[in-house]
Amino acid sequence: MKNPSIGVIGLGFVGLTLAVVNAKKGFNTIAMDVNKTKIENYKKSNLDFFEPKLDYYSKQSIKKKKIFFTNNFEDISKADIIFVTVGTPSLKNGQINLSNLKSVILKLKKLFKNKKSKHLIVIKSTVIPTTTSNIIFKELKLLKNIGLVVNPEFLREGSAIDDLLTPHLIVIGSRNKKDANKLEDYYKLFYKKKIEIIKTDFSSAELIKYTNNAFLATKISFINSIANICQNIPNTDVNIISKAIGKDSRIGPLFLQAGAGFGGSCLPKDLNALINYSKKFDNVNSLFTAVKEVNDLQPKRIISLMKKDGILSKNKTVSILGLSFKKNTDDIRESISIKLVNHLLKHELEIKVHDPMAINNFKKIFSNKISYFNDVNECVKNSDCCIILTDWDEYKKLKVNDFKKMKEKTIIDGRRILDATKFSSCNFKAIGLGN
């Protein structure tokens, strides 16, 4: 069977990753975005965000001429299978903003209205249940040459390439077997081996994505709630507790790492959207609301630890190690570091920050309000308190000697990555550690 040509509309984190991986796998790929500057940069493999292996895959795809970057929407008509990956950001009330998606669908409707060639449109953008049925399908249903499926993504920032190449599951939502089978045939060509596929309807596929992220968020808020109990019981350590319950196959060890809370572009946004969507049903979102409340309060646990030690004073200096919401990415969206720095600035503290990847993104928000360092030792020098907010590998290797130039050796491990027993000479504190 001949490889279908692939189109991707919207070259953010998901779209660009999807496009370059398809091209690297040998599929002729049309990568489209309305941002002309972005397209010109991508043609030269000048990427505007960091993701492991992505730069290599991009350069290889360009070199082999398997990917075509464009800002001309009509070019997408050359693709057999078109993945829609435009963003669905949150509005202030938590509801998702569908304006970009609606715009794309209307353009596709106009583009294919008088064409006879057959195309499959694949919705990868994260949308609430009934969006595809009530909005997208209604616009496209009269186009007999267009198939439509929902195919949610489960990519983790920092592991996106690996997640695309070795997915735990493929979900396909459709109204008919023909459309679903066409996408399944593509995946058989893509993987060359059997991958588990669940076929369902539009709304179930949409809800699977939200359920997945809501459950992960729940596990994090759950273990953080346990950590907050441990904080008040001498000699208890939430790491021991999470390790123990993680051995239970019904629970599992993943997402049981206590810390300052979750951030990023997915979990907070999807949780807020699910809370907003479920308000229309009676008494079904109390759990999701509680998960959000726990996460919103978690950074204040760090503030509380600082307050007890008298560090919330304008003559104090605080160093923060880790700005991205997780390691192996420069993404600071909904990062705990932003919330914490905003709070500390109100107390007029001097703030020094370090991160291997996210410094430039942080500067766009805080400019000269804080100080930036490329070296950990220089960042912590003369500080009264050091707070670790991201589990970068280089931070896990830190020893007591790395903090010797601090004024007061108060260390708050917000990600539970240091061994407390090795920092007995410091005023060491960690989320979920009962001192």
Give the active site residues. Answer: 266
CA 348 to chain centre: 31
Count Cβ atoms within 10 A of the Cβ of residue 171 and give its class: 0-12 exposed, 13-18 middle, 19 or more buried.
buried
Parallel/antiparallel/unpaired status of strands 410-413 and 385-388:
parallel
What 3-state class would DSSP assign to 395? helix
Cα(250)–Cα(252) distance, rounded to whole angstroms?
Answer: 6
* Structure tokens given for 230: 């441990």
Residue where the block lists tokens 């942080």: 362
| Number of neighbouring beta carbons within 10 Å of residue 168 | 8
Alpha-carbon distances, residue 435 vs 233, 234, 259, 368, 423 (angstroms)? 8, 5, 16, 36, 13
Phi and psi, residue 332, nearest 5°: -115, 10
Count Cβ atoms within 10 A of the Cβ of residue 406 and give its class: 0-12 exposed, 13-18 middle, 19 or more buried.
buried
Provide the sign of the torsion angle of the four alpha carbons 419, 50, 154, 66, taken in this order: negative
Radius of gyration of the chain (CA): 24
Cα(381)–Cα(156) distance, rounded to whole angstroms?
Answer: 34
Alpha-carbon distances, residue 221 vs 216, 261, 262, 267 (angstroms)? 9, 7, 8, 12
| Number of neighbouring beta carbons within 10 Å of residue 181 | 15
Cα(135)–Cα(298) distance, rounded to whole angstroms?
Answer: 37
Which amino acid is located at 50 in the chain?
F
* Structure tokens given for 360: 């430039």
Cα(8)–Cα(18) distance, rounded to whole angstroms?
Answer: 8
| Number of neighbouring beta carbons within 10 Å of residue 166 | 11
3-state secondary structure 58-97: HHHHHHCCCEEEECCHHHHHHCCEEEECCCCCECCCCCEC
